[in-house]
C-alpha cells in the first residue's frame, strides 16, 4: 500500500480535529475526499505533509511501508509526497524557474543525485508548462505574486508535474476556478495519473470529479471518514446533500 | 539562464556556518608602535615618503580630532574604544619594488585565492581590474595598461600622491573634510593607503574597477581612503569588497570614500562588506565606522551607491549624495543583514541643492538572532532645489523574535515645489512561506536563504553580476542557524 493511515488523531492547539481517521491508498488509485466545511479535510492534508502545529496525538501515517509521523516536511516531500495548496503562497522576488530548480535539486541531492543540468531542466520546464497551458512569462514571475486564482492553481499542478510525486494530495484545487481552468487543471492531473502513483483529491463539489474520475469516494464528517464508496457516491452526495450523511450517522 | 543557475547553485553550496574567511595569513608585517600621537603620524608619513603638505594635512586632522568626541547618537552599543591601544599602521614587509605577479609573496597570493580573488590574467576574461589592499598597503594593481590607454588613472592612494599630486590636492577632502566627523578626522590623520581613480572627460571605463580590502594583522585598525573623480561625461562602475580573518579582539575600521562627478558624469559604486561579524556570542568582530559621500558637482551627473552589508560586529555607515548640479541624480540601494549579536546603523543622506534633482532610496534590512538593524536616513531639500524629487522605501524583515529593526527617516524640506515620498514596511518570514518551500523539498535554511534573497532582489539586481552571486551566498551564509 502506498499510503496507509491508521486511526489518526490530530490536534491543533490542543483541540482534536481528526478523531480516528483511516485511509488506504494503493498505487494507481485516485481517492476523493468530500465533506462539509470544518470536518478536517485540510487538516488531513497538513498532517500527511507534516505541517508544524498539527500534532499527531495517536495513530500512524505509513508511506511506502515507513511511519512518517515524525519526518520533517521537506523530507516527506523529497520522498515523493506532494501537496497542491488550497491557498498557494506568494514568495516575492523568487521566480518560479528559480524556485523549481531549487526544489528539484533539493530532491536530487536527497536521492544522492547530481544537480540537474541546465539544458535538461529547461526542456523539462517547457514540457510541463504545456501540460497545464502555462505561459512562459509566468515562470519568470515571482512565485504566485499577483497571480489570478486560476494561475495559482495551474502553477500548483505545474509544480506537481515538475516534481513527479508518488503521492499527491490536491487540497480544493477546484476552488476559485472557472470551468475552462478547471478542465485544464483536471487534464493536467489526468496526464500525470499512472500505475506508479496515487492521488488524494479533496473537494467540496462533485463537479471536479466529472473531470478527475476517482476510484473511491470518501465522505468526512467530524474528523473521520464516515462513508466510502465508488464514484457513484459523489453523485449521490451532490443530489442529496451532506445532511443525508448526517441523518445516517 | 546562467544567472538563475548560479542562484540555484549558491543555495546548494552553502553548508558551513563558520565564517568562511577566518584564516590568518602568516606574512611578516611591519607595524607602527601602538597608540596614537603626533609621532605616530610622523611615522606613517615617513614610512610612506609623503610630501610635506600631506603630513601637514594629517597633523591638522589629528589636532582637530583631539578636540572632538566620538558620536553617540547611533543605535549602537559597544564598550569604549581605546584609541591608544590600536596599531595604526601595518604594512607587509617587502624587500624591493615588484615588477610582476611572480615576485609577489606566494602566501599573499594564496590569501587572494582563498578569497576567490585572482590577480592573474584570468581577470581579463571577467573584465575586472583589481587593486588589492591588504593591511593598508596596495600590493598589486592590475590592468593599468589597459586603463592607461583610455587615460584612466587607477592606482593606490600612495601612488596617486606621488604621481598625481595635483589631482589629489585638488579633490581630497572636498567631499568629506577632516572636520566632518570624529571618524573622518581620525582617518585623515592616520590613513595608510587606499585607492585613487580618475576617469577623464568623455571616457566610459571599459571594465568594472574593483578593490578588495582585507584586514589581516591583529589589533590593526584599517584606515583606507578612496578618492574617485569622474570628469565631464565619463562613466565608471566601481566595486569594493571586504573580508577580514577571524580574531577575538575587536578591530577598528574607519574608512573614507569620496566621489566627485562633474557635468554629465556617472559613478556606480558597489560594496559587498563581509568583515568578521564576531562569533555567536558577540565576541570579536570588526567595528566599522565609515564615511562615504558623493558630490554630484556637475549638471546631469549621477552617483549610485549599492551596498550589501553582511559583516562587521558594528556597522556605522551612511553613503550619501550631495546633489549640487541641476538635474543630478543620487541613488542608494542597500541590503543590511544582521545576525547573532551584530549591530548595524546604516542608511543614507540625500542633500538636494540643485534644481530638478532626484534621489531614490531603497533599503532592505534583515535582522535575525539577537541583532539590531537600524535604517537612518536624511532627505534634505534646500530652498533653491526647485522640483526636487525623492522616493524612499525602507523595508525591514525580521527572523525570530529576539532581534530588532528600527527606522529613522528624517526629512527636511524647504522647497514647496518638491515631492518627497517615503514608504516603509516591516514583515516577518511567514510560516506559510516556509512551509510552502519545505513542502517542495527545500530544507528550512535553504528556504530562508531563498525567501531572503527574493526579498532583497530589488537591490541585488543593482549589483554587477559577479558581485550579485557573492552577495547572495553571503546572505544565505549570514543567516545560517538563525531559525530553529
Shortest Cα distance, chain B CAs vs residue A91, angstroms: 7
> What number of other Cβ atoms are within 10 A of residue B200's Cβ?
16
The answer to whether the CB of B350 falls within 8 A of the CB of B376 is no
> Which residue in chain B is spatially nearest to A80 when comparing CA positions?
B441
| Confidence at B130, pLDDT banded by 50, 70, 90 | low
Alpha-carbon gap: B51 to the closest alpha carbon of chain A (Å): 52
Contact across the interface for A89 and B442, Cβ inside 8 Å:
no
How many inter-chain contacts (A to B, CB under 8 Å) are there? 98
> Please, which residues have CB within 8 angstroms of residue B94's CB and are 6 or more apart in sequence?
B105
Instruction: Tell which of B2, B8, B450, B456 to mutate to test the A interface (max A CBs under 10 Å).
Output: B8
What percent of chain B stands above pLDDT 90? Answer: 49
For chain A, the straight-line distance linking the first and the last C-alpha, in angstroms and rounded, comes to 29
Q: Which of A145-151's residues contact partners 24+ apart within 8 Å by CB, and which partners?
A: A145/A90, A145/A91, A145/A92, A147/A88, A149/A176, A149/A177, A149/A181, A150/A176, A150/A177, A150/A178, A150/A181
| pLDDT given at position B428 | 85
Using 50 as the pLDDT threshold, list the residues of chain A that sit under it.
none
* pLDDT above 70: percentage of residues in chain B: 77
CB contact under 8 A, B12 and A89: no
Alpha-carbon gap, residue B102 to B389, rounded angstroms = 52
DSSP string spanning B332-368?
A: EEEEEEE-TT-EEEEEEEEEE-STT-EEEEEEEEEE-
Closest-approach residue (CA) in chain A for B10: A102
pTM: 0.81
Taking contacts as CB-CB distances below 8 angstroms, the residues of chain B near A72 are 438, 443-444
Considering only CB atoms, which residues of chain B are within 8 Å of chain A?
1-2, 4-5, 7-9, 11-12, 430-433, 435-444, 446-447, 450-451, 453-458
Beta pairing, strands B419-428 & B90-92? unpaired
Give the pLDDT band of residue B476 (cuts 50, 70, 90): confident
Residue B439 has its nearest CB partner, among A49, A97, A98, at A49
- The answer to ipTM > 0.90 is yes
What is the phi/psi pair of residue B54, to 5°? -75, -40
* Pairing of β B343-352 and β B193-199: unpaired
Count the Cβ atoms, other than its own, within 10 Å of residue A171: 22
Q: What is the pLDDT of residues B392-423, one digit of tens each?
A: 999 999 988 888 899 999 999 999 999 999 99
E-only strand ranges, B203-255:
208-214, 224-230, 235-243, 250-253
pLDDT grade, residue B100 (50/70/90)?
Answer: low
Question: Searching chain A, which residue's CA lies closest to the CA of residue B458?
Answer: A93
A 86-115: CB under 8 A from B: 87-95, 97-99, 101-103, 105-107, 109-110, 115
Q: Do B440 and A159 touch (CB under 8 A)?
A: yes
Which residues of chain B does A51 touch, with a Cβ-Cβ cutoff of 8 Å? 435
Give the least confident one: B28-32, B55-59, B129-133, B226-230.
B129-133
Q: Among B350, B240, B364, which residue's Cα sits nearest to residue B302? A: B350
CA distance to partner chain B, nearest, from residue A205 (Å): 25
pLDDT tens for B27-69 read 556 777 888 999 999 999 998 889 999 999 999 999 999 999 9
Terminus-to-terminus CA distance in chain B, angstroms?
33
Nearest CA in chain A to B441: A74
pLDDT tens profile B437-452: 999 999 998 999 899 9
The CA distance from A157 to A138, in Å, is 14
DSSP B395: E
**pLDDT higher than threshold 80 for residue B185:** yes
Mutate to test the interface with A, among B10, B437, B441 (most CBs of A within 10 A): B441
The 10s digit of each residue's pLDDT in B6-16 is: 433 333 333 33
pLDDT of residue B29: 64
Using a CB-CB cut-off of 8 Å, the residues of chain B touching A49 are 439
The partner residue sitting opposite A118, judged by closest CB among B1, B435, B439, is B1
Q: In chain B, which residues have their Cβ closer than 8 Å to the Cβ of A155?
A: none
Answer whether residue B335 shows pLDDT above 50.
Answer: yes
What is the C-alpha separation between A71 and A74, in angstroms, rounded?
Answer: 8
Q: Does residue B155 register a pLDDT over 50? A: yes
CB–CB contact B441 A163 (8 Å):
yes
Residue B121 is predicted with a pLDDT of 33
- Confidence tier at B20 by pLDDT (50, 70, 90): low
CB contact under 8 Å between B439 and A122, yes or no, is no
Residue of B nearest to A100 (CA): B440
Of these ranges, B215-229, B325-339, B461-475, the one predicted with the greatest mean pLDDT is B325-339
Q: Which residues in A lie closer than 8 A to residue B484 (C-beta atoms)?
A: none
Quick one: pLDDT at residue B92? 56
Res B249: pLDDT: 59
Asked if A94 and B438 come within 8 Å (Cβ–Cβ), the reply is no
Q: What would the mean pLDDT of B90-98 be, rounded to a whole number?
A: 53
Q: How confident is the model at residue B132 (pLDDT cuts 50, 70, 90)?
A: low
A45 to chain B: closest CA residue: B439
Contact: B439, A78; criterion CB under 8 Å: no
Are the beta carbons of A98 and B7 separated by less than 8 Å? yes
Nearest CB to A91: which of B8, B454, B456?
A: B454
- The dihedral sign for the CA sequence B191, B194, B198, B204: negative
Which of B11, B436, B457 lies nearest to residue A93, judging by beta carbons? B457
Amino acid at each position: 500500500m502506498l499510503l496507509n493511515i491508521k486511526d489518526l488523531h490530530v490536534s491543533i492547539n490542543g483541540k482534536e480535529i481528526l478523531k480516528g481517521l483511516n485511509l488506504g491508498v494503493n498505487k494507481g488509485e485516485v481517492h476523493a475526499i468530500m465533506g462539509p466545511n470544518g470536518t478536517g479535510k485540510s487538516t488531513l492534508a497538513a498532517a500527511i505533509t507534516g505541517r508544524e502545529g498539527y500534532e499527531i496525538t495517536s495513530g500512524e501515517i505509513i508511506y511506502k511501508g515507513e511511519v512518517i509521523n515524525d519526518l520533517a516536511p521537506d523530507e516527506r516531500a523529497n520522498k515523493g509526497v506532494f501537496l497542491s495548496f488550497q491557498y498557494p503562497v506568494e514568495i516575492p522576488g523568487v521566480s518560479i524557474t528559480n524556485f523549481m530548480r531549487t526544489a528539484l535539486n533539493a530532491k536530487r541531492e536527497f536521492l544522492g543525485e547530481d544537480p540537474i543540468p541546465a539544458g535538461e531542466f529547461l526542456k523539462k520546464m517547457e514540457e510541463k508548462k504545456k501540460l497545464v497551458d502555462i505561459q512562459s512569462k509566468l515562470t519568470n514571475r515571482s512565485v504566485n505574486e499577483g497571480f489570478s486564482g486560476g494561475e495559482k492553481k495551474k502553477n500548483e499542478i505545474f509544480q506537481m508535474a515538475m516534481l513527479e510525486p508518488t503521492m499527491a494530495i490536491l487540497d480544493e484545487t477546484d476552488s476559485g476556478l472557472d470551468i475552462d481552468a478547471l478542465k485544464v487543471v483536471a487534464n493536467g492531473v489526468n496526464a500525470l495519473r499512472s500505475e506508479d502513483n496515487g492521488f488524494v483529491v479533496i473537494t467540496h463539489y462533485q463537479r471536479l470529479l466529472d473531470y478527475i474520475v476517482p476510484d473511491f469516494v470518501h465522505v468526512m464528517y467530524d474528523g473521520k471518514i464516515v462513508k466510502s464508496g465508488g464514484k457513484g457516491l459523489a453523485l449521490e452526495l451532490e443530489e442529496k446533500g451532506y445532511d443525508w450523511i448526517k441523518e445516517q450517522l | 539562464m546562467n544567472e538563475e543557475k548560479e542562484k540555484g547553485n549558491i543555495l546548494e553550496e552553502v553548508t558551513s556556518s563558520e565564517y568562511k574567511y577566518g584564516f590568518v595569513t602568516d606574512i611578516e608585517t611591519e607595524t607602527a608602535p601602538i597608540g596614537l600621537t603626533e609621532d605616530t603620524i610622523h611615522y606613517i608619513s615617513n614610512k610612506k615618503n609623503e610630501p610635506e603638505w600631506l603630513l601637514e594635512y594629517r597633523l591638522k586632522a589629528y589636532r582637530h580630532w583631539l578636540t572632538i568626541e566620538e558620536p553617540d547618537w547611533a543605535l549602537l552599543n559597544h564598550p569604549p574604544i581605546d584609541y591608544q591601544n590600536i596599531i595604526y599602521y601595518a604594512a607587509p614587509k617587502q624587500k624591493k619594488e615588484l615588477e610582476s605577479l611572480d615576485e609577489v609573496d606566494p602566501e599573499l597570493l594564496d590569501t587572494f585565492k582563498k578569497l576567490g580573488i585572482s590577480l592573474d590574467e584570468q581577470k581579463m576574461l571577467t573584465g575586472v581590474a583589481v587593486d588589492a589592499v591588504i593591511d593598508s598597503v596596495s600590493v598589486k594593481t592590475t590592468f593599468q595598461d589597459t586603463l592607461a590607454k583610455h587615460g584612466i588613472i587607477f592606482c593606490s592612494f600612495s601612488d596617486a600622491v606621488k604621481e598625481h599630486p595635483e589631482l589629489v590636492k585638488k579633490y581630497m577632502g572636498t567631499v568629506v573634510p577632516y572636520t566632518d566627523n570624529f571618524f573622518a578626522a581620525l582617518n585623515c590623520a592616520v590613513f595608510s593607503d587606499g585607492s585613487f581613480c580618475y576617469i577623464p572627460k568623455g571616457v566610459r571605463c571599459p571594465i568594472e574597477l574593483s578593490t578588495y580590502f582585507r584586514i589581516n594583522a591583529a589589533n590593526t585598525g584599517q584606515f583606507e581612503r578612496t578618492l574617485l573623480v569622474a570628469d565631464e561625461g565619463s562613466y565608471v562602475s566601481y566595486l569594493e569588497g571586504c573580508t577580514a580573518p577571524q580574531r577575538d579582539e575587536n578591530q577598528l575600521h574607519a574608512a573614507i570614500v569620496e566621489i566627485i562627478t562633474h557635468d554629465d558624469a556617472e559613478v556606480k559604486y558597489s560594496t559587498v562588506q563581509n568583515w568578521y561579524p564576531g562569533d555567536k556570542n558577540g565576541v570579536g568582530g570588526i567595528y566599522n565606522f565609515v564615511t562615504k559621500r558623493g558630490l554630484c558637482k556637475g549638471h546631469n551627473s549621477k552617483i549610485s551607491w549599492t551596498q550589501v552589508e553582511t559583516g562587521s560586529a558594528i556597522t556605522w555607515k551612511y553613503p550619501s549624495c550631495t546633489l549640487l548640479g541641476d538635474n543630478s541624480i543620487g541613488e542608494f540601494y542597500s541590503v543590511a543583514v544582521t545576525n547573532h549579536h551584530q549591530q548595524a546603523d546604516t542608511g543614507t543622506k540625500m542633500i538636494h541643492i540643485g534644481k530638478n534633482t532626484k534621489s531614490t532610496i531603497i533599503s532592505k534590512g534583515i535582522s535575525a538572532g539577537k541583532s539590531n538593524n537600524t535604517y537612518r536616513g536624511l532627505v534634505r531639500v534646500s530652498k533653491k532645489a526647485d522640483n526636487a524629487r525623492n522616493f524612499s522605501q525602507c523595508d525591514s524583515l525580521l527572523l525570530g523574535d529576539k532581534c530588532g529593526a528600527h527606522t529613522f527617516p528624517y526629512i527636511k524640506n524647504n522647497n514647496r515645489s518638491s515631492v518627497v515620498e517615503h514608504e516603509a514596511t516591516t514583515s516577518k518570514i511567514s510560516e506559510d512561506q516556509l512551509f510552502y518551500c519545505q513542502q517542495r523539498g527545500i530544507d528550512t535554511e535553504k528556504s530562508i536563504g531563498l525567501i531572503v534573497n527574493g526579498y532583497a532582489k530589488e537591490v541585488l539586481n543593482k549589483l554587477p553580476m559577479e558581485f550579485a552571486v557573492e552577495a547572495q551566498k553571503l546572505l544565505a551564509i549570514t543567516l545560517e542557524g538563525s531559525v530553529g
